[in-house]
Structure 1
């Protein structure tokens, strides 16, 4: 069974001096960019059945805004496990996704989310603009991968990148 994995870095966040990192909200640019992510996923016929979202405010807001653009977005599984997660931590989250899910999205942070995207990529993609993915995975980046087999068997270098976007609204 072919599956789809979507890795999303949150949209641009505010940098207030008086707020802890976990509570940073989206900036105006981020509020404009996040719906672009959802519209792009819809245009690619990508509809996550499961969404695992960092507990940070900016990731929850990103998911809420992008999900509003999807026909049937799932309620997010909000977890501290994605906040400050390394690529290895995130890989374990992917491997633990429900076996019945045919598609899943993870909304997280750099450096972990970008490092995971690059680690999973088999390097044979013909998707354009992947240089941005490989050199930094900017805010509002979305990488879509095809997964052959079970989530539990996902390994570095084993997924085909089939879509990539840096959303700018």
Structure 2
């Protein structure tokens, strides 16, 4: 694959989590989260993206979200669980994306707010007007995802390099 071909990043916030007496990292999905995650997976499938790689936080709620969402996709991408995504800032998330091998064209990153929303805003140097309007109106609730496009190697991904192409929230 040429680095001149467009790449797509799906920034996917985990589904609604419960608040039991466990550490934040171990919080499971709430009932609503278990209902929303497959819906988000179907909406992700509707984008038509053939995902090459999923990079998922090691937190319980992100792993459960991805397990439910990926079942709705026509093709299961390779999944990597990455500790650096938990409580990551947008800059730390960019560092994770910079480490992705260039043979991966379409990548989904399953993580947490405020990092996911912040990263979406930082990467989007331009936007589809409708996607931007929907994201501005809805914010980045649980189970939401944004699709950004950019051209170049993953190592070259930096603030403003992408275009917000799509956005969905339950």
Does the TM-score normalized on the shorter chain lie above 0.5? Answer: yes
- Structure 2 residue aligned with 1:62: 65
Aligned ranges 1:74-113 → 2 under 5 Å? 74-113=77-116
* Structure 1 residue 129, shift from structure 2 partner: 0.4
Cα separation, partners in 2 of 1:132 and 1:43, compared to 1, 3 Å: same
- Structure 2 residue aligned with 1:31: 34
- Structure 1 residue aligned with 2:19: 15
Q: Is the 8 A contact 2:127 2:165 kept in 1?
A: no
Runs of 4+ in 1 over 3 A off after TM superposition: none
- Structure 1 residue aligned with 2:157: 154
Q: Is the 8 A contact 1:13 1:30 kept in 2?
A: yes
Aligned length: 164
Tell me how far apart the structure 1 counterparts of residues 75 and 105 of structure 2 sit (CA, whole Å): 14
Confirm whether residue 144 of structure 1 aligns to residue 150 of structure 2: no
Q: Is the 8 A contact 1:5 1:104 kept in 2?
A: yes
Tell me how far apart the structure 1 counterparts of residues 97 and 35 of structure 2 sit (CA, whole Å): 28
Cα separation, partners in 2 of 1:93 and 1:132, compared to 1, 3 Å: farther
Q: Is the 8 A contact 1:41 1:47 kept in 2?
A: no
Q: Is the 8 A contact 2:52 2:78 kept in 1?
A: no
1:2 alignment partner, one of 6, 9, 28: 6
- Structure 2 residue aligned with 1:130: 135
Task: Give unpaired runs (5+ residues) of structure 1.
Answer: none
Tell me how far apart the structure 2 counterparts of residues 142 and 121 of structure 1 sit (CA, whole Å): 14
Task: Give unpaired runs (5+ residues) of structure 2.
Answer: none
Aligned-residue CA RMSD (Å):
1.2
Q: Secondary structure at the match of 1:52?
A: strand
* TM-score normalized with structure 1 length: 0.92
Q: Is the 8 A contact 1:53 1:107 kept in 2?
A: yes
